[in-house]
Structure formats: structure tokens, C-alpha cells
Chain A
Amino acid sequence: MSPPARACRVTPDAIDPRELLESSVTPSDGAALLFWGVVRNEHGGRAVQSLEYEAYAEMAERKMQQIADEARERFGTGAIRIVHRVGLLAVGEASVGIAVAAPHRGEAYEASRYVIEELKRRVPVWKREGYVDGERHWVPGYTPTVEKGD
């Protein structure tokens, strides 16, 4: 048996949805959800061919773990695992997978939504879109709020 993967990580490798989901479940859980974020074929009306993700991996993993811990505490879920992909992704490939296990479905849905929204606001990940006409540019995003004690 290989040791269990870190709960929150950045990886250049394709995300395995089944492993991510099933590994989050323990005997006290009654439900598990997988959020699967995938590369779409258009943005703002332009045809997208590929998406290149970059991360400040060490900080991104730390922020994802903080968000998972917040969600577990706030909604009372079981395990939460977050995997974010980096590198060049094709349309249809998953950029992020979030598994949430919980005793009941309600808190799993709430926690899953919380994790993806917070991830988009403060995890240091960037993406550059490549269009079918060969142009590419960094996608505008959220400016993280910097608070005292954050």
C-alpha cells in the first residue's frame, strides 16, 4: 500500500476522480460529493483551444488546506480533499477536483460550494488561455483580500 496522498495538493498529473472521491469516505459518512472543474471550449465568446495553469504550489497547497479546514469546521463535514492541476490542459480535462464527505448530504453540498468559491478568491493559481487563432493571455481574476492576521 502506498501512503495516503496529501489531502490538498497541486499536481501536474491528471486527476483521478474515483480515487479522490472514494478516498475521502469513512464509515461515519453517509454522502460524498465530487466537484469536477473542467476546461470549457469558449471564454467571452472566443474559442479556447487550451488552458495553461500556473501555481505558487507551496502557498496554494497551504491555502487549500486552510479552506478545507474552515469548511470542515463551519459545516461539520468529514474529510475534504482538493487537487488542483497545473500545466497545459486541453478542453474537457479537469483543472480542479474537490471531494467532500459528510454524515449527511446537506452539509456536503454547502461545504463543496464554499470550497470552490474560496479557492477562486484566494488560492494563488493563474491561468492563461490559448485561443484557436494562436493568441494567448492571462485570465483576469480576483485580487485576494489581504487582512491583518490573514
Chain B
Amino acid sequence: MVVRSLFFASFRDLAGTGELAVELPAGARVADLVAHLRRPGSPLASIPERPAVAVNLEYAPLGTALADGDVVAFIPPVAGG
């Protein structure tokens, strides 16, 4: 399956892009995507082990199961207002 990963603010600066399509094995969870993005040598290796993540516009725990076409946004600490 393929999920859309979105990066904002400092995470986008690290990734060098705002969006990546990532192929994952069936049954993958958010934690698997995080581990994939943090692999050694990846531009995102330095993101936190437990970043805040939203799946399809809602905050989601790292154990959330992913499905083909899901949109997974990596949310650095927020600073609105």
C-alpha cells in the first residue's frame, strides 16, 4: 500500500519537501512509517521517535493501522495564536 506523508514547518525543512508517497507492507501501522522515515541516512532521521501524527485530519496514536491512500501528517510542536 502507499500512504501520503505530509511535512510541515521544521519537519518540511528537514525533509526538503512537503509531501512524500511512501510504500509500506500491508498491515503497517503509523509506528512503522515513523521507523521508515527515521532510518539511518534518511533526511528525517532526526525527527522524534514519537512525533505527533494526524491520520486523515485527526491526531492518531502510533499504533493506528494504516490503509492504502491514507494521509499521514507529521505535526511538529504547534505555535498558533
Contacts and interface: CB of A to CB of B under 8 A. Distances in A.
Q: Do A and B come from one complex?
A: yes
Interface of A: 37, 53-56, 58-60, 62, 84, 95-96, 116, 119-128, 138-148, 150
Nearest 6 interchain pairs by C-beta: A125-B80, A141-B79, A126-B9, A141-B77, A146-B59, A139-B79
Contacts, number: 88
**What is the predominant secondary structure among interface residues of chain B facing chain A?**
mixed
B75 interface: yes
18 contacts: A53-B80, A54-B8, A55-B80, A58-B57, A59-B54, A95-B80, A96-B81, A120-B78, A123-B80, A126-B8, A128-B9, A139-B79, A140-B79, A141-B79, A142-B77, A142-B79, A143-B77, A150-B58
Contact of B79 (A60, A138, A148): A138
Nearest to A150: B59
**What is the predominant secondary structure among interface residues of chain A facing chain B?**
mixed
Contacts of A142: 77-79
A75 B56 CA distance: 29
Nearest to B10: A138
B52 A123 contact: no
Interface residues of B, number: 21
A11 B10 CA distance: 21
Contacts of A96: 80-81
Given A54-B8, A146-B60, A124 B79 contact: no
Contacts of A55: 80
Contact of B52 (A116, A138, A143): A143
Interface in B61-81: 61, 73, 75-81
A144 B76 contact: no
B53 A124 contact: no
A54 B7 CA distance: 11
